[in-house]
Structure 1
Amino acid sequence: MNKKLLAGSGLAFTLLFSPLSQAFAAETIGDLRKVDNVAHRGASAYAPENTIAAYDKAVEMKADYIEIDVQRSKDGELVLIHDTTDGSGKVGDFTFEELRSLDAGSWKGAQFASEQIPTFDEILDRYHGKIGILIELKAPELYPGIEESVAEEIKERNLEKPQNEKIIIQSFNHESMEKMNDLVPKVPIGVLTSSRADTTEQALQEFSTYADYFNPSYGIVTKELVNQVHYLDMKIGLWTVRSQKAADFLLDMGVDAIITDYPDYVDPRN
């Protein structure tokens, strides 16, 4: 992994995005680049998000990664949930037992009524070595110390080692990702954003000092942005794809990962 601030970057950026260099980049970046197919909260178009059913479906559909949302219960258990169960309220206000009793699946169909909120350690044990895991820390500012807890679970399974780079950690909280980079420096780090303010030359250079992935909303991606991210030795993953048109657009852009509810839109084997 290469997390560094490039010297002379201002001049380098100027040269990089001259007409000549743009033409060169168009020839060398894109067509042959492997695109990672990331199942957003599992194959969530086909099974209830952040459940075993959705993750198993992603494996069945040959996705490269599952993306999971990690939060923490009132009594300290790391759980996987975004916001969809039959309950209401803040995750951190409920004990693990209370969260586990919620129905996490029947909203998607009666066949999923038995689905429960999974725990982080359950998912690591069930899927590591079988499929990549993209770990999103969901609002880590609400859970002081969650970074250390996540790092501990990863280290207990020796997943912080470089030969196991099918683990990636990301968040919209960029300070949290700087902290994760310190805790598990060999694990790839991603920064999430939907803000164009984070796509400036200065912002991207700062991200490149600790992050390996720049993961923006696909609505703000441009070919120039893809080239900028690659120039800074980062990869770029886009979210959340819910149409074949969007998937095809990003494939043409030469991105490194597509985060999607529909893994079959990215991988024609499905």
Structure 2
Amino acid sequence: MYARPAAATAAALLGVGALLLPTATAQAATPQSTNTVQASTATDSPVVVAHRGASAYAPENTLAAIDKASDMGFRWVENDVQRTKDGELVIMHDDNLKRTTNVEEVFPDRSPWKVADFTAAEIAKLDAGSWFDAKYAGARVPTLEQYMNRVEQNHQKLVLEVKKPELYPGIEQDTLDVLKKTGWLDREHVGSKLVWQSFSADSMRKVHALRPDIKKGFLGTPSVAELPEYAKFVDQINSRHTTISYAYVASIHAMRGPHDKPLEIFTWTVDEAADAQRADGYGVDGIISNKPDVVRSAIADD
């Protein structure tokens, strides 16, 4: 059911799926210059990315969530980055702390509990696990530095999303500074372990100007007529799974990005087997999921 179309398969074999696990041949190849995005290799199966870590099974965007993804065998994880009052980058999806921490109990007089109104030390006091399950009580909101170190420790790869960059002027350079500090801007990491995505085209243009070698994805579903403009500064168009079709995916693959490689598409947030099979049939290059095990099983049975 939903067999991957032959055309999409052929395209993938020619290099569309640049983020899939490297084969022995690819691993042995001489690394390319950091002036270009280095692809891994491609198969006819999409990358499965654990959304905010394995967030159906552990509290999202915590170290526990990426550890859970690792335990389940997933090499790729996705996260979200915000900035604190004192300039620390932390891993949090929402721009406020209410939904996934006990901030209202710890700081009852600090409504509306925006990340940008709290220092990193204050956020470090919060419980970011109990809301999900009592067994995760005491889990903390990690800093980006802590997070990058754990991803490295787990031998994982990362789709990094800067949330609402318009709220945090200069966050692109701040993020690059942390990536450099943690060793994630060398040839190996930039070449095959990192994708930077955002809903902001302006932010993606800034990142491309600062570090054109980093692989970048625009979150959204631009019209086909707009794709040539996006192809100047991003390598991926990463769309909600309900907004795409086989024809749209084919249009993306027909474009070449800023590193003269076919544009890719990762789709999100896919948690049902039927949706995973449909996206796979469209020929997408990656599927982002809270339940990556469900996706893996669905496309393996395809």
Q: Is the 8 A contact 2:49 2:286 kept in 1?
A: yes
Deviations, residues 204-257 of structure 1 (Å, cap 9, x unaligned): 111111101110111111111111111111110000012111111111111111
| Corresponding residue number in structure 1 for 2:228 | 205
| Corresponding residue number in structure 2 for 1:28 | 10
Shift of 1:128: 2.4
Q: Is the 8 A contact 1:161 1:186 kept in 2?
A: no
Report the 3-state secondary structure (helix = DSSP H, G, I; strand = E; otherwise coil) of the residue aligned with 2:195: strand
Is 2:243 the counterpart of 1:215? Answer: no
Shift of 1:155: 2.3
State the alpha-carbon separation in 2 of the partners of residues 158 and 229 from structure 1. 32
Is 2:90 the counterpart of 1:63? Answer: no
Deviations, residues 97-134 of structure 1 (Å, cap 9, x unaligned): 11111111111111011101001011111212711111
Report the 3-state secondary structure (helix = DSSP H, G, I; strand = E; otherwise coil) of the residue aligned with 2:265: strand
Query: Equivalent residues in 2 for 1:143-222 (5 A)?
Result: 143-164=168-189, 165-193=192-220, 195=221, 198-201=222-225, 203-222=226-245
Q: Compute the TM-score of the two structures, normalised by the length of structure 1.
A: 0.85
Percent identity of equivalent pairs:
39
Count the aligned residue pairs. Answer: 243
State the alpha-carbon separation in 1 of the partners of residues 214 and 10 from structure 2. 27
Counterpart residue type for residue 137 of structure 1:
V
State the alpha-carbon separation in 2 of the partners of residues 152 and 30 from structure 1. 33
Counterpart residue type for residue 163 of structure 2:
K
Counterpart residue type for residue 141 of structure 1:
E
| Corresponding residue number in structure 2 for 1:247 | 276
State the alpha-carbon separation in 2 of the partners of residues 108 and 24 from structure 1. 42
Unaligned runs of 5+ in 1: 1-22
Q: How much is the aligned-residue C-alpha RMSD, in angstroms?
A: 1.9
State the alpha-carbon separation in 2 of the partners of residues 27 and 38 from structure 1. 20
Which of 137, 159, 164 is residue 139 of structure 1 equivalent to? Answer: 164
Q: Is the 8 A contact 1:30 1:253 kept in 2?
A: no
Is 2:79 the counterpart of 1:73? Answer: no
Q: Which moved more, 1:66-75 or 1:125-134?
A: 125-134
State the alpha-carbon separation in 2 of the partners of residues 122 and 266 from structure 1. 28
Shift of 1:47: 0.5
Unaligned runs of 5+ in 2: 14-42, 95-99, 104-111, 256-261
Which of 122, 131, 147 is residue 123 of structure 1 equivalent to? Answer: 147
State the alpha-carbon separation in 2 of the partners of residues 237 and 27 from structure 1. 15
State the alpha-carbon separation in 2 of the partners of residues 27 and 61 from structure 1. 27
Q: Is the 8 A contact 1:169 1:189 kept in 2?
A: yes
| Corresponding residue number in structure 2 for 1:86 | 102
Counterpart residue type for residue 99 of structure 1:
I
Report the 3-state secondary structure (helix = DSSP H, G, I; strand = E; otherwise coil) of the residue aligned with 1:97: helix
